[in-house]
Amino acid sequence: MNHVFLCGNPALDFACTVRARRTAYVEMLNAPDRLDAWFVESGVVDVVSSCGEADLVQAVALREAIYGLVTSRLAGDGYDDQALALVNETACEPPATPQLTATGRWVEATPAQVLSTLARHAIELLSGPEMPLMKECANPECTKLFIDRSRGGRREWCGMESCGNKIKAAAYRARKKEAQTAGAR
């Protein structure tokens, strides 16, 4: 698997295909084949027809619109009209349709159908009961968004393997250094 899916919703995972937006901007969808891979690895579809450059441009525009709407909602700001229009227009297109086969669920789709499905996930998330559970990672270098379904609702990081361990290790080193400095006086 080349992509990470820890946000708790396909629309959030899609919005987070850019890493470290504020610091070292890393684009994960930098070619049509990377978009193909993300669509399949995300589990939204089992097979997608090959994406072209135009599909990639549409996908990035939708991703940025979803990210903008989510961060606006988290900040308590109003929605950007263009982002709202793009998500709504994309959701109006036919979505990916699951089929039941002898071996289980199967979804085969075009890139436009996958984008419609992702836009619908974003709409459901932003207007549904999980909206209050949405957070941004507490690591100042990370810009991942996630749904906090932890029992106490106290999850701070997008994931322990990535940001949580880094922050905890840095805090430990800082405490240890402070104790050594205090002991040397």
104 near 111, Cβ under 8 Å? no
157 near 137, Cβ under 8 Å? yes
pLDDT at 4: 72
Q: What is the C-alpha separation between 38 and 117, in angstroms, rounded? A: 14
135 near 146, Cβ under 8 Å? yes
pLDDT at 185: 67
Q: Which helix (H) or strand (E) holds 105?
A: strand 104-109
pLDDT at 160: 66
Q: Which helix (H) or strand (E) holds 128?
A: none
pLDDT at 77: 95
Q: Which domains does the chain have, with CATH numbers?
A: 10-184 (1.10.3300.10)
Tell me which residue of 21, 16, 162 sits closest to 3, measured CA to CA. 16
Scanning the structure block, which residue is given the tokens 């610091």?
Answer: 23
User: Who wins on pLDDT, 163 or 149?
Assistant: 149
129-154 confidence digits (pLDDT tens) = 999 999 998 888 888 899 999 888 88
pLDDT at 3: 67
60 near 39, Cβ under 8 Å? no
pTM here is 0.86
